[in-house]
Amino acid sequence: GENVEQHPSTLSVQEGDSAVIKCTYSDSASNYFPWYKQELGKRPQLIIDIRSNVGEKKDQRIAVTLNKTAKHFSLHITETQPEDSAVYFCAATPNAGGTSYGKLTFGQGTILTVHP
Amino acid sequence: DSGVTQTPKHLITATGQRVTLRCSPRSGDLSVYWYQQSLDQGLQFLIQYYNGEERAKGNILERFSAQQFPDLHSELNLSSLELGDSALYFCASSVEGLGGNNEQFFGPGTRLTVL
């Protein structure tokens, strides 16, 4: 099955700096890669996603890049703010077929701390 | 608010007991997913239902079972509970279950504590 590795496990930055979180996946059939932000005790919330037919997607201060050949994708947050502090999860979903419909495999999570 | 509701919010029970967690998907969503989040295992996919039928299974224990009803709400049943079952259980829903390319919206979760 799919395996998603996420690095780093913790990331500490100063307000205004950029933060980058990287994930690799194992199943070449995966074609949907969402990123979730989870605050302490709260539900995961989708912040951005990318599909395999594009290489990069941006939404204001957040961007995601995908390299299908190397099987890795990254989250980039620019001009970080203290409210960006949370746990970030990457995930991957394999293609349709078999018993893998919609099944998200998550990375281990990155605890991002933005210091004022 | 994602539109996905889960009850109860908190559940405290003893080992060996059985509990039922309930999830109502967003209006119009046909797929429901259950995830378990514990400190040492992260977010783990348990099971998915699409329009009343089981579609995908993850690392779900035999002591656990789920179903989706005609009104599309879903229940996750956990039996013979063990201390290690203590975790946050999330339900998520999406419009379609086919293709695996649909955004999943998470509910607020149920925190289960087994004493």
Do A94 and B104 lie within an 8 Å CB cutoff?
Answer: no
Strand ranges in chain A using DSSP code E only, listed in sequence order: 4-7, 10-14, 19-25, 32-38, 45-51, 56-59, 62-67, 72-77, 86-92, 105-106, 110-115
- Euclidean distance between CA atoms A94 and A3, whole angstroms: 11
B102 has pLDDT over 80: no
Nearest-by-Cβ selection for A106 from B42, B103, B109: B42
* Residue showing tokens 């050949």: A69
Q: How far is the alpha carbon of A98 from chain B, nearest alpha carbon, in Å?
A: 8
What's the N-to-C CA distance of chain B in angstroms?
31
The reported pLDDT for the residue numbered B39 is 80
Rounded mean pLDDT, B100-111: 85
- Euclidean distance between CA atoms A57 and A115, whole angstroms: 26
Strand order, beta sheet including A19-25: A4-7, A19-25, A72-77, A62-67, A56-59
Q: What is the mean pLDDT of chain B?
A: 92
- Euclidean distance between CA atoms B108 and B115, whole angstroms: 22
Chain B 12-51, residues with CB within 8 Å of chain A CB atoms: 31, 33, 35, 42-45, 48, 50
User: What percentage of chain B carries pLDDT values higher than 90?
Assistant: 76
Residue B101 confidence class, pLDDT cut points 50, 70, 90: low
Of B98, B112, B114, B100, which is closest to residue B37 (Cα–Cα)? B112
Highest mean pLDDT among A28-37, A95-104, B2-11, B87-96: B2-11
The reported pLDDT for the residue numbered A93 is 84
Element (H, E) at B91: strand B87-94
B74 has pLDDT over 80: yes
Residue A59 confidence class, pLDDT cut points 50, 70, 90: very high
Closest residue in chain A to residue B101, using alpha carbons only = A32
Please report, for residues A18, A80, B19, B25, B106, the alpha-carbon distance to residue B34 in angstroms, rounded to integers and kept in the order given. 33, 32, 15, 11, 9
Residue A45 confidence class, pLDDT cut points 50, 70, 90: very high
pLDDT tens per residue across span A60-114: 999 999 999 999 999 999 999 999 999 999 999 875 544 555 688 999 999 999 9
Nearest-by-Cβ selection for B90 from A43, A99, A101: A43
Other CB atoms within 10 A of residue A106 CB: 22
Q: How far is the alpha carbon of B16 from chain A, nearest alpha carbon, in Å?
A: 26
Of A5, A11, A7, which is closest to residue A86 (Cα–Cα)? A11
Do B100 and A108 lie within an 8 Å CB cutoff?
Answer: no
Question: What does DSSP assign to residue A73?
Answer: E
Do A104 and B33 lie within an 8 Å CB cutoff?
Answer: yes
Q: Give the tokens for residue A15.
A: 């307000």
